[in-house]
Amino acid sequence: MNESPQLQAGLLRIVRQAAWLRTGLILLGIVMYLAYDPGKSALVLLSAFFVERALFVVLVSWDTLREKLGASFLPIVIAWLLVTPVLEILTSIISVDATLRLIGIEADVLGVSSPLIWLVVPVIIAVWQYGRRGLQISIAALVVEHAAVGLVVLPGLQFFTFILNSGGRIAMLGILGYVVMLLVEAQKKDHAALEQANRQLAQRAATVEQLAESRERNRMARELHDILAHSITALSLQLQAIATLIDDEPGEAKALLRDAQKMTHDSANEVRRAIKSLRATQLEDLGLPQALRELCRTQAERTGAKLDCDVISILPLDPLTEQAVYRIAHEALANAERHASATQVAVKLGMAPARKLQLLIQDNGVGFDMRTIPPNHFGVIGMTERARDVGGALSVKSEIGRGTKVELEIPV
């Protein structure tokens, strides 16, 4: 049984408690004996029992000794507890009547057979630490010990009577150990299943985080492309025109240069706004409803459009859902500003029937044909991905000249 060097949790504490209890009971036995029969005939025997138990206390309480014994520590403890009660039984058999009464003092105090109690302890410890193999070895050791005691000191019929009594005791210990073994095995299976679930959850969380980071990078790349591709292309054409006109028509070239400067300034602002939106610090600081109100306010101030913001206070949502709602609203408003040329935008956040969170953003802009969305344009595709990531559904309706309506529903 020395293949498991690491003690199960709480096992050492139980062993130490048992050791001190055994020592305390023998001290009580000595006191009661001296009060009952101050003779010395059995005091030597009780003193020997006390020395044995005191040594056992030293064994289990001395950490340095335990560390030196290493993997051998627990097998020694179990063997000690298996042997000493049987030696007590042997002593009670061969001793005079007075000594038999002394050995029975603990039984009188506890109301049960003292050797039986101390045989329960090592069996349970062996099962707890070593499982089925510990049960088999401990029960086999008890069978051999009891058989040896009977063969050595008991003749004929007394031997068979002793074996029958001992067999009942060992059978009871075996049943108790078997029940403990089943409980320990069930506990270990549950613990292993929990550890496996924790590992899978950690792996899944890492995978989700990686996917989220990848999607965010892709989203940022597409958004920067949407922002910069047109501006840089137009700027390149402007610079070519300036180079052509600068000698012959310097006035026209200066006008084009001012347009190019303004285009560069606007593009830089768009990039800064896109990068700043990645952090969503307002969402973290204010919560979703107030963050949406602030988003509407800043867009209205920046664009001059009339922005109707009807956002009710809602119960806090999980961070991923709040992030998705905020990002979708931010993207829809940005599209209304950049592409729709909208003068009126309505934003509404509330609870729909069947416990669904509903976000509605509608503008009066130029609209677009849903069938002509470029494959590399983030817009609708990115918002749909965000909605799907949190178990929601996104609906986008638009017609040329009749504005755009973005509707998001998420079960909560």
What is the percent of the chain with per-residue pLDDT over 70, rounded to a whole number? 75
What is the percent of the chain with per-residue pLDDT over 90, rounded to a whole number? 5
Per-residue pLDDT for 1 more than 60?
no
**How many angstroms separate the CA atoms of 240 and 406, rounded?**
40
Amino acid identity of residue 284, one-letter, is: E
- pLDDT for the residue numbered 361: 93
**Token pair for 21:** 């209890």
Q: How confident is the model at residue 111 (pLDDT cuts 50, 70, 90)?
A: very low
What phi and psi values does residue 401 have, to the nearest 5 degrees?
85, 0
DSSP letter for 390, please: T
**Token pair for 74:** 């627990």
pLDDT, tens digit (0-9, with 9 covering 90-100), for 61-89 = 888 888 888 888 888 888 888 888 777 76
Q: Say how far residue 366 (Cα) sits from the centre of its chain.
A: 51
pLDDT, tens digit (0-9, with 9 covering 90-100), for 114-172 = 566 678 888 888 888 888 888 888 888 888 887 887 777 666 666 777 777 777 778 88
User: Of the candidates 58, 60, 57, 114, which has an alpha carbon nearest to the alpha carbon of residue 88?
Assistant: 114
- pLDDT for the residue numbered 9: 58
- pLDDT for the residue numbered 359: 92
Average pLDDT over residues 323-328: 87
**How many angstroms separate the CA atoms of 335 and 233, rounded?**
20
**How many angstroms separate the CA atoms of 135 and 59, rounded?**
23
pLDDT, tens digit (0-9, with 9 covering 90-100), for 346-370 = 999 988 877 888 999 999 988 887 7
- pLDDT for the residue numbered 110: 33
User: Of the candidates 104, 115, 117, 107, which has an alpha carbon nearest to the alpha carbon of residue 37?
Assistant: 104
Average pLDDT over residues 96-112: 40
Bridge partners of 337, per DSSP, are none
Longest CA–CA span in the chain (Å) reads 135
User: What is the three-class DSSP state of 245?
Assistant: helix
Q: Work out the end-to-end distance of the chain between its first and last CA atoms, rounded to an integer number of angstroms.
A: 54
- pLDDT for the residue numbered 95: 56
**How many angstroms separate the CA atoms of 127 and 242, rounded?**
90
pTM score, whole prediction: 0.43
Q: When comparing pLDDT for 293 and 241, which is higher?
A: 293
**Token pair for 210:** 């990686």
Average pLDDT over residues 342-348: 90
**Token pair for 197:** 């679930």
Contact call for residues 346 and 308 (beta carbons, < 8 A): yes
Q: When comparing pLDDT for 364 and 218, which is higher?
A: 364
DSSP letter for 367, please: -
- Report all structural domains of the chain as residue ranges with CATH numbers, in order of start: 11-153 (no CATH), 286-412 (3.30.565.10)
Kindly state the helix (H) or strand (E) to which residue 368 belongs, with its residue range.
none
User: What is the three-class DSSP state of 246?
Assistant: coil
Average pLDDT over residues 183-199: 84
pLDDT, tens digit (0-9, with 9 covering 90-100), for 247-260 = 788 888 788 888 87
User: What is the three-class DSSP state of 309?
Assistant: strand
Q: How many CB atoms within 10 Å of residue 244?
A: 13
Q: Say how far residue 187 (Cα) sits from the centre of its chain.
A: 18
CA angle 398, 400, 404 (to 5 degrees): 30
